[in-house]
Amino acid sequence: MKNCIFWLLAIGWMPYSVAQSMQPLADDELQATTGQAGMTVSARYEFGEDTRVSYVNEDADYVDTQRYWLVIDNITGAIEFKNLKIDLISNFGAAGNKSAIQITLPETLTYSEFKTDGVYLGPGKEVSNDHRFIMGLEIDGQLQFPAQTTMNIFSLR
């Protein structure tokens, strides 16, 4: 469960990371490229003192009128992944008539003294006495995945 939350965070931050690392190609480099589907991403996220991630689902239809925030408070350390692949595939599903986004998990996922004071749920994007503590986390080391572990995300329609 803990790794799932941080995978979602890493994937959520990925577009920002990719946008920051993209550089324009020179004309000769552009002419030498060939069309390929998908992309492969390697990234390292480093967190300074007091880094906080706050998320609210604006479209949620709660029973009460309160908007609830998921807050990951005081994140420090780093997360690095190598060779995460994202591709669009077709001819998927039982009838072979669906398209899907295929995510191939990275070869390695390295945590460098990665920790947080806690993951909280409550009203507001900063932790207060009204927030409920869900869990704390401290990870240091490397995870390796079996070769070519993939997830396919597709619509049921």
> pLDDT per residue over 94-128, tens digit each?
777 778 888 888 888 999 999 999 999 999 999 99
In this structure, what DSSP letter does residue 26 have?
Answer: P
Pick the more confident residue, 14 or 110: 110
Examine residue 29 and state whether it is found in any structural domain, yes or no: no
Examine residue 138 and state whether it is found in any structural domain, yes or no: yes
Examine residue 123 and state whether it is found in any structural domain, yes or no: yes
Work out how many domains the chain is built from and give that number: 1
Examine residue 143 and state whether it is found in any structural domain, yes or no: yes
CB 49 within 8 A of CB 74: yes
Handedness of CA 78, 72, 9, 3 (dihedral sign): positive
End-to-end CA distance of the chain: 28
Examine residue 27 and state whether it is found in any structural domain, yes or no: no
Measured between alpha carbons, how far is 125 from 116 in angstroms, rounded to an integer?
16
Examine residue 120 and state whether it is found in any structural domain, yes or no: yes
> pLDDT per residue over 60-102, tens digit each?
777 878 888 999 999 999 999 998 899 888 877 777 777 888 8
Examine residue 132 and state whether it is found in any structural domain, yes or no: yes
Q: Which domain holds residue 135?
A: 2-22+37-154
The neighbouring-strand residues paired with 43 are 81
